[in-house]
Amino acid sequence: MNLSEQERTQLINYRIKQAKDTIEVVNLLIENNQLQTAVNRIYYGIFYSVLALALSEKFETSKHHQLIGWFNREFIKPGKIDKKYGETFKSAYESRTSGDYDTFVEFEKDEVNLLFEEMKEFIDRIDLFIQSK
């Protein structure tokens, strides 16, 4: 994608908004005991925020493993972002994958609430990082 700076900024803002909107969706899903779907959306909220970060760094991919690898290589390993956020991203991805593809997976509400709190903190941290640039 060959984006102008204005288009890139608009897309970054769109992805951050997508991530933040997902927080509201996850809250409703948890309230209604739709835990498996909540876990899916938790991951995607994190994914959208990292897509925004990648766009801000002019890195583009739609592949989940590439984005996770890039995030770890460029931000976690050099210490630009605390390693706990790398663990949050990985955990959310693994939980989402398990919930989407494994058989008879059930999540406990406490576990999903913890993932949800980590998701909100993750999105805020990425948003702050982008804004600080």
What does the domain layout of the chain look like in residue ranges?
5-131
* DSSP 8-state assignment for residue 57: T
Q: For the chain, what percent of residues have pLDDT higher than 70?
A: 100
Write out pLDDT tens, residues 46-71. 999 999 999 999 998 889 999 999 99
d(CA 128, CA 133): 9
User: What is the model's pTM?
Assistant: 0.96
For residues 95-103, give the mean pLDDT.
Answer: 95
| Average pLDDT of every residue of the chain | 96
Which CATH superfamily includes the segment(s) 5-131? Nucleotidyltransferases  domain 2 (1.20.120.330)
pLDDT band at 133 (very low <50, low <70, confident <90, very high): confident
**What is the reported pLDDT for 107?**
97
DSSP letters along 34-49, please? -HHHHHHHHHHHHHHH
For residues 109-124, give the mean pLDDT.
Answer: 98
How far lies 118's CA from each of 25, 36, 73, 122, in Å? 15, 16, 21, 6
Long-range (24+ apart) CB contacts under 8 A made by 13-17 are 13/52, 15/48, 15/49, 15/51, 15/52, 15/55, 16/48, 16/49, 16/52, 16/123, 16/126, 16/127, 16/130
pLDDT band at 1 (very low <50, low <70, confident <90, very high): confident
* Statement: residue 82 has pLDDT above 90: yes
For residues 77-106, give the mean pLDDT.
Answer: 96
